[in-house]
């Protein structure tokens, strides 16, 4: 069986591309680091891949608002390619800055594709950059392919604009995948468990197909036990909480 091809999208300011590529490689995929300019110039094509990832970072210095400039490039110059990729069964993963990009490009949630910008991400309630570890509870009713057979996760966050705000019209329609929670799984816990003040403690969402997934925490930063600051106290498993997300994506893409 041929290996799954994964496109890791880069732009000026991307800084989690290498870690994300490594995570997918460990899960059995072949990865390519592709600059957005290569896609725009047709030197690379999204259709040649089974998975597209927008990793974390501060693309274009987060000018205007976090992820907005790259989102405009995707929407205006690659919108048709992305839509065909989704319709063809491809997987899209957005991590942190990737979450911001997918929302501001109108790719998530589906209501945005219809031209109704009723959800966005804004500055954290704390008014500062939040860099901490958070507990996450997975919505078992979510159709998300990436979180199959996962109940809880413990992952790091690192963002200044991670607060999900949503119009009352769109909130009941969202496919919420991840909730910020406390160590007991309470998904209504406030700060610091919810690091940014997101409505309904939302940490990740997907589309109705479960194939387009975005989350603020960084699963690529915790695929091995030694990536945790207390690993010597806790002991080390070969693979840790974030790794299953990449394994699930690769397994699914192998069927395409």
CA distance 250 to 15: 22
Give the CA distances from residue 149 to residues 44, 53, 121, 145, in Å, rounded to whole numbers and listed in that order.
34, 21, 28, 9
Write the CB contacts of 127 (distance below 8 Å, at least 6 apart in sequence). Answer: none
CA distance 111 to 24: 30
Q: Which long-range contacts (CB under 8 A, 24 or more apart) does 180-187 make?
A: 180/134, 180/135, 180/136, 180/137, 181/135, 181/136, 181/137, 181/152, 182/135, 183/135, 185/135, 185/137, 185/152, 187/137
Question: Is the sign of the CA dihedral 175, 177, 179, 182 positive or negative?
Answer: positive
The set of catalytic residues is: 96, 218, 220
Cβ atoms of 103 and 121 closer than 8 Å: yes
Q: Radius of gyration of the chain from Cα atoms?
A: 17
| H or E element at residue 225 | none
Q: How many CB atoms lie within 10 A of CB 165?
A: 14
Residue whose pair of structure tokens reads 């995707």 in the numeric block = 74
């Amino acid at each position: 069986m041929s290996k799954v091809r994964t496109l890791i999208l880069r732009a000026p300011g991307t800084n989690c591309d290498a870690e994300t590529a490594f995570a997918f490689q460990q899960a059995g995929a072949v990865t390519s680091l592709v600059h957005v300019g290569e896609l725009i110039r047709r030197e690379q094509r999204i259709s040649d891949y089974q998975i597209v990832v927008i990793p974390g970072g501060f693309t274009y210095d987060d000018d205007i608002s976090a992820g907005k400039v790259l989102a405009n490039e995707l929407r205006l110059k690659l919108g048709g390619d992305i839509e065909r990729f989704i319709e063809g069964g491809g997987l899209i993963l957005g991590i942190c800055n990737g979450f911001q990009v997918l929302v501001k490009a109108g790719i998530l949630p589906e209501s945005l594709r219809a031209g109704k910008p009723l959800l966005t991400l804004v500055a954290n309630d704390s008014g500062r950059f939040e860099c901490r570890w958070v507990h996450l509870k997975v919505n078992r009713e979510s159709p998300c392919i990436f979180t199959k057979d996962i109940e809880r996760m413990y992952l790091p966050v690192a963002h200044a604009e991670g607060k999900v705000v949503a119009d009352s019209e769109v909130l009941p329609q969202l496919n919420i995948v991840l909730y910020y929670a406390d160590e007991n799984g309470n998904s209504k816990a406030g700060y610091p468990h919810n690091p940014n003040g997101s409505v309904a403690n939302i940490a990740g969402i997907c589309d109705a197909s479960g194939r387009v997934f975005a989350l603020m925490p960084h699963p690529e930063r915790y695929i091995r036990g030694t990536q945790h600051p207390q690993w010597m106290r806790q002991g080390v498993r070969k693979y840790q909480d974030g790794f299953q997300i990449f394994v699930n994506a690769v397994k699914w893409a192998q069927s395409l």
